[in-house]
Structure 1
Amino acid sequence: MSGDRDKFSLEDVKETYKKKDAWWTVLLVDPVASRLIVPTANYTNITPNQLSLFSFALGMTSVYCFFLGHTTALVVGAILYHISFIIDCMDGKIARLKGTGSTFGMLLDISLDHIRVVLAAAALTYSQYRITEDVTYLYLGFLFLAAYCARHINALQLYKLRREMRGKLRKAKRKLKRIGEAAGIVIEIPEESTQVDKPEEEEDETERDHETVNTELLRKKKFDLQQEFKSKFTHYMKVRDYFLEKRIRMHLFSGIEFQMFVFVVAPIIGFMKEIIFFGAILLMAFEAAILYKIWLSTKDFQRELNNIEMATATIEATLPPEETEAENR
């Protein structure tokens, strides 16, 4: 916290930003939300949960405007939806700024977000069907919901898969470390070698005190599960680094951009059917790219796991049978 009398500054708020975020949030939301947070945090007792509820109320007002469906109502609904999203982005930042975040608050925020999106999609597409009698809008409503739900289900499953892979690698590495300690082996870790050298029997006792296993495995605090992807797409990594300097993630058309284009851009400029259709296609294309990336990560994972297990088996071979049995219990 900086400034007189413990007032929060704009720089304090910026420290609560995510390291990377959707480009729509970084460019069009955070600059406004952060400046609203300063007076809100300094001069009011408004809580993050109250902001979530206020954002939801504005979102429901925009849903009603979408349900009315005429041109003026659509424009008003689009503006209210974006204001609702800005306020929604304020609650998490204030929670991090003041240290008042809670599990319930996070659950409330996520639940209200999903309800707002689903109702907005239903209201927008149904109103256009009612006004134009074009059944295409109903099909597009289902397409929007299918793409939106698939995006979030996919994100949850990929998070679980990444966590499971890293958990297995950490568990295997801990076992390797225990086996190495039981064998009395000093680990020397060159940069490139992943092979394990078994000590020579003819070494004298002084040399045995410094038996070595050449491996880089125990040095790693984190496992890089994007090695194969990085090797295949070197130019991508340069572009990614450029965007990351600006806090923009490479998932350039995520669920956030999808809903903003449908609920903010389309009601204002028109071309609603085209934006919903091509937005869904674009969202799924980026999801397919993420699936391809995680598939390459599973190959990195299996290679790392095989290296660790090979090293463990080699060291186990140097242990007396009773010590091996004790370590495996």
Structure 2
Amino acid sequence: MQEIRERTYKPVDAWWTVLLVDPLASRLVRLVAPYRWITPNILTLVASIFGFGAAACFAVGERWYLVAGGILFHISFVVDCMDGKIARLNGTGTMFGQWLDFVLDRVRVFIIALCLFGGQYARTDDVAYLWLMSVAIFLDLFRYLNSAQMTKVRKSMKDQLTAYLEPVRVQAEPAAAMAEPVDEMPEPAPAPTGGGSLKNRIGATLRRNRIRTHLISGIEYEMTVFIIGPITGLIFPVTIAIGAGLLAFEAFLIFKLFRACQQFPAKLAAAQAAYEEFEAGRDEDQRVPSTV
């Protein structure tokens, strides 16, 4: 189990995954890992089967079918998490498997949303469930598309800065190592004192337990809508509440991206200046003095 945790757990993950999925998924991975015919793609398909079973239960719309659907959706998510763990543990991941996993995830969520809210509409004849279905599907797609685009923008900025700063860093590190006295040991880092702001302490506690500080993302949103809502029978208020929370977190991330983009031109100019200074110094060092 320790090997599975070390090789398959992400450094930080969604709190739902860390607390409610990984403990079960890692034990199931231990059982199935020796069977090499159980590939990540097979697990992706099995996860989809459980997901479509959840959709069928949601379509009925009755109380205990909703509970069964919520349980099946959670099982679907556990199996879906297993495919990535098996891929990392056995080295059997493929590019096609990544595509298949992403596409089936989106198709599964779309069909489940149609069945959950459509089933409630068929049972109550309340058109508000159709509007809620549209909002739920939109927010789920928006979260994943927005996350991918923000990652792309941040990576682009980082790559541009790295292109200028990496040569400077590589050149500076050997020089610093040569200048450091070899008979002196580095001073130990100061022990944590437990100080700092409440926000920093909470963030450190979450990261220490592998929980990312982004507490409402696509995973938490889907689990709340398709598990907590149906099991409690409070589909409408739960979906509204988690949707508002998701929008608040996304707005905060968009604001942070906006600030980063505002600061990027100045950072890029500073990186260019550092690189030009580095190049000028290197050209000076490489000049051969003339002799008489």
TM-score (norm 1): 0.74
Report whether the alignment pairs 1:23 with 2:15: yes
Higher relative contact order, structure no. (Cα contacts within 8 Å, ≥ 6 residues apart): 2
Report whether the alignment pairs 1:292 with 2:255: yes
Match of 1:103 in 2: 95
Tell me, in whole angstroms, the C-alpha distance in 2 between the residues paired with 1:13 and 1:247: 15
Q: How far did residue 296 of structure 1 move? A: 3.1
How much identity, in percent, do the aligned residues show?
Answer: 39
Match of 1:252 in 2: 215
Tell me, in whole angstroms, the C-alpha distance in 2 between the residues paired with 1:312 and 1:112: 45
What per-residue deviation string (whole Å, max 9, x for no partner) do you get for residues 42-97 of structure 1? 25631111111011011111111111111121111111111111111111001100
Q: How far did residue 301 of structure 1 move? A: 3.4
Match of 1:279 in 2: 242
Secondary structure in 2 aligned to 1:57?
helix
Match of 1:207 in 2: none
Q: How far did residue 284 of structure 1 move? A: 0.9
Match of 1:268 in 2: 231
Please show how residues 87-236 of structure 1 align to structure 2 within 5 Å: 87-173=79-165, 235-236=198-199
Kindly tell me: are residues 265 and 177 of structure 1, through their superposed partners in 2, closer, same or farther at Cα, counting changes over 3 Å? closer
Q: How far did residue 279 of structure 1 move? A: 1.1
Kindly tell me: are residues 318 and 112 of structure 1, through their superposed partners in 2, closer, same or farther at Cα, counting changes over 3 Å? closer
Kindly tell me: are residues 186 and 171 of structure 1, through their superposed partners in 2, closer, same or farther at Cα, counting changes over 3 Å? closer
Partner letter of residue 141 of structure 1? M
Secondary structure in 2 aligned to 1:252?
coil
- Contact 1:68–1:127 (CA<8 Å) still a contact in 2? yes
Please show how residues 48-87 of structure 1 align to structure 2 within 5 Å: 48-87=40-79
Partner letter of residue 24 of structure 1? W
Kindly tell me: are residues 176 and 98 of structure 1, through their superposed partners in 2, closer, same or farther at Cα, counting changes over 3 Å? closer
Partner letter of residue 40 of structure 2? P
Kindly tell me: are residues 311 and 51 of structure 1, through their superposed partners in 2, closer, same or farther at Cα, counting changes over 3 Å? closer
Q: How far did residue 121 of structure 1 move? A: 0.7
Point out the structure with max Rg over C-alpha.
Answer: 1
What per-residue deviation string (whole Å, max 9, x for no partner) do you get for residues 136-162 of structure 1? 101100110111111011101111111
What per-residue deviation string (whole Å, max 9, x for no partner) do you get for residues 101-127 of structure 1? 111111111111111111111111111
Matched length: 264
Tell me, in whole angstroms, the C-alpha distance in 1 between the residues paired with 2:99 and 2:280: 50
Report whether the alignment pairs 1:310 with 2:273: yes
Report whether the alignment pairs 1:239 with 2:202: yes
Tell me, in whole angstroms, the C-alpha distance in 2 between the residues paired with 1:40 and 1:309: 52
- Which is richer in helix? 2
Kindly tell me: are residues 55 and 314 of structure 1, through their superposed partners in 2, closer, same or farther at Cα, counting changes over 3 Å? closer
TM-score (norm 2): 0.83
Secondary structure in 2 aligned to 1:97?
helix
Secondary structure in 1 aligned to 2:251?
helix
- Contact 1:176–1:308 (CA<8 Å) still a contact in 2? no
Q: How far did residue 237 of structure 1 move? A: 2.9
Match of 1:14 in 2: 5
Structure 1's unaligned 5+ residue stretches are: 1-9, 190-232, 324-329
RMSD: 2.6
- Contact 2:73–2:226 (CA<8 Å) still a contact in 1? yes
What per-residue deviation string (whole Å, max 9, x for no partner) do you get for residues 168-212 of structure 1? 11222367689xx9xxx99978xxxxxxxxxxxxxxxxxxxxxxx
Secondary structure in 2 aligned to 1:49?
helix
